[in-house]
Every structure is written in structure tokens, then in C-alpha cells.
Amino acid sequence: AQSVTQPDIHITVSEGASLELRCNYSYGATPYLFWYVQSPGQGLQLLLKYFSGDTLVQGIKGFEAEFKRSQSSFNLRKPSVHWSDAAEYFCAVAVFGNEKLTFGTGTRLTIIP
């Protein structure tokens, strides 16, 4: 069965600084990978997804993520964070032929002025 690990429970970043949120997955074949964001009191919103092809994917709100098969990772990055990026971020993995999406435990992002 697939699994997802987000090793950082909470990250604090200064506004304008760069950001990288880590995600590692466990699955033998190439998975489908997602990043979702949850703002306070809201449902989750898709930031970006990787199915195949170019391993660097662009998403909404200036986010990008890179799929690295050798490291089983799909880290989320942003060059310069804004105060509105404060939220909880979830990495998720699905596998072809299995209608099950497995979520990581999330990383809470705090932005300081």
C-alpha cells in the first residue's frame, strides 16, 4: 500500500523568503502526486499535480514541485512567500488502478513579517 510522509509538522518562514516543504512517498511504481492547501476554516484546494512527463510541475499561486524518483520525493517550493500563504499543506499520492488517495499528515506554514 502507498504511504506519504511529511516530516515537518510546522514551518515558520519570513515573508519574502523562499520555501520548501518536504514530501516522501512509498510506492513501487510511478505514483500520481498532489499538493493541496487548506486555509483556516476551508476545505482543501489543489495546488498542483504530477501524473507523468516533466518532473518539475507548476501550480497555482506561484508554487512548483519537483518529482525525484531516486529520492521518492515530491517537494513543494516557492521562491518568495506572501503572508497569505500561511496555511496547512498536504501532500497526497494515488496509484494507477487504485481509487485511493492517501494523504500525508500535513505541514502547517506560519509566515512572520
Question: What is the rounded (10 degree) CA torsion for 52, 60, 39, 32?
Answer: 0
The number of residues that bind other proteins (CB under 8 A) is 25
Binding status of residue 104 toward other proteins by CB under 8 A: yes
Strands 107-112 and 10-14: parallel
Chosen residue from 30, 68, 96, 110 binding other proteins by CB under 8 A: 96
Q: Which of residues 25-84 bind other proteins (CB under 8 A)?
A: 32, 34, 36, 41-46, 49
In whole angstroms, the minimum distance from the beta carbon of 36 to other proteins comes to 8
| For other proteins, the closer CB: 52 or 70 | 52
Looking at residue 72, the DSSP 8-state letter turns out to be: T
**How many other C-beta atoms lie within 10 A of the C-beta of residue 14?**
10
In whole angstroms, the minimum distance from the beta carbon of 99 to other proteins comes to 3
**Dihedral over Cα of 5, 68, 21, 50: its sign:** negative
Q: How many Å apart are CA 78 and CA 51, to the nearest integer?
A: 20
| For other proteins, the closer CB: 15 or 38 | 38
The residues that touch other proteins, with contacts defined as CB under 8 A, are: 6, 9, 32, 34, 36, 41-46, 49, 90, 94-96, 98-106
